[in-house]
Structure 1
């Protein structure tokens, strides 16, 4: 399915939630979608790595990084893991780094911004819980669709 969030919103208006326009697209895929997997971390990307090392099965990893602008949670090495393990995309409520390299990879990546500093590695965080940012609740197992117009979320798969 070609993803066009505007058309999906029009056809499914009562079934979607729209993320506030706060994230920028950095990945090589500008349109992507899939079932949601969630993480909640703060300036520590250990769980991000272990999650992206697992089979993605065309899912989208949504990372609630607490909106931190003090370090990056995803860089080119983690983006390569996402590509190699079949993740459709990564949405980060926080920063990424290595944006030039990530822009050439076959994965969708949205984030608040970029930051050159790497994160700490303590292994602190939570997996598969509902996370909230940008006016949207992201539930594990729900569906996310993203393109140049924004990000939308629904409880079940969408069609036109």
Structure 2
């Protein structure tokens, strides 16, 4: 399996956007990959989905506060369709994202933002419908508290590594990362998981037994998409 070519990115994004993180997590489990969940990340704009290659941003604490440290300037370099992944160590003491960044990101066609740390101006992001996810929320500015360390580097989100170009999907269930070299296979398996669960649900709601429907349609290995008899 290889990284998707640029021409395939939009097709992958369209398929991923129709899947939820639960099905994608099941698909990742079936491949026995390293942890995919970004722990502690919650939706700040419920009902939205962020889906795209990761643009990674790492912050560090300000040590010398004798000069003014403004907000980090990187948003102009984020490619269209990316998900901004910000690592501030899960800090709850100050913010790394606010309404100005949400407005610019939405205008620029950025798919969403995941912050391992805190965000603010949540009401404005929700009103705009910008997909925003974070560890926490605070009103405290990051100015003179944190500064940009680097962009385009591997970051650690509470034990889960995210490399630039890994695919990020975030929804009301939380956020996960899919290694770039596995994304096509993960999508294929997640689509099979959803088909299997749809068959089980339909059978159980048609006055059938749930346990029988699970056995019939291959609930134990839903990514194999066994069809009527549960065999692939």
Alignment TM-score, normalising by the size of structure 2:
0.61
Aligned to 1:46: 71
SS of the equivalent of 2:127 reads coil
Alignment TM-score, normalising by the size of structure 1:
0.86
- 8 Å contact 2:168–2:177 — kept in the other structure? yes
Aligned to 2:174: 150
Which stretches in structure 2 are left out of the alignment for 5+ residues? Answer: 1-14, 62-68, 192-232
Q: CA–CA distance in 1 between the matches of 2:22 and 2:34?
A: 11
Relative distance call for 1:61 and 1:55 in structure 2 (3 A) is closer
Q: CA–CA distance in 2 between the matches of 1:148 and 1:120?
A: 29
Relative distance call for 1:71 and 1:77 in structure 2 (3 A) is same
Task: Give the one of 26, 30, 49 matched to 1:10.
Answer: 26
The structure whose RCO (Cα within 8 Å, separation 6+) is larger is: 1
- The reply to whether residue 70 of structure 1 matches residue 86 of structure 2 is no
Query: Greater strand percent: which structure?
Result: 1
Aligned to 2:113: 90
Q: CA–CA distance in 2 between the matches of 1:79 and 1:45?
A: 17
SS of the equivalent of 1:58 reads coil
Q: CA–CA distance in 1 between the matches of 2:109 and 2:119?
A: 19
SS of the equivalent of 2:102 reads helix
SS of the equivalent of 2:60 reads coil
- The reply to whether residue 141 of structure 1 matches residue 177 of structure 2 is no
Aligned to 2:84: 61
- 8 Å contact 2:89–2:158 — kept in the other structure? no
Q: CA–CA distance in 2 between the matches of 1:45 and 1:60?
A: 23
Which stretches in structure 1 are left out of the alignment for 5+ residues? Answer: none
Structure showing greater Rg: 2
Aligned to 2:122: 99
Root-mean-square deviation (Å): 2.2
Q: Deviations over 1:21-73 (max 9, x none)?
A: 412211365222100111111367733xx322335311111000122211111
Q: CA–CA distance in 1 between the matches of 2:38 and 2:176?
A: 9
- 8 Å contact 1:96–1:113 — kept in the other structure? yes
- 8 Å contact 1:33–1:146 — kept in the other structure? yes
Relative distance call for 1:27 and 1:51 in structure 2 (3 A) is farther
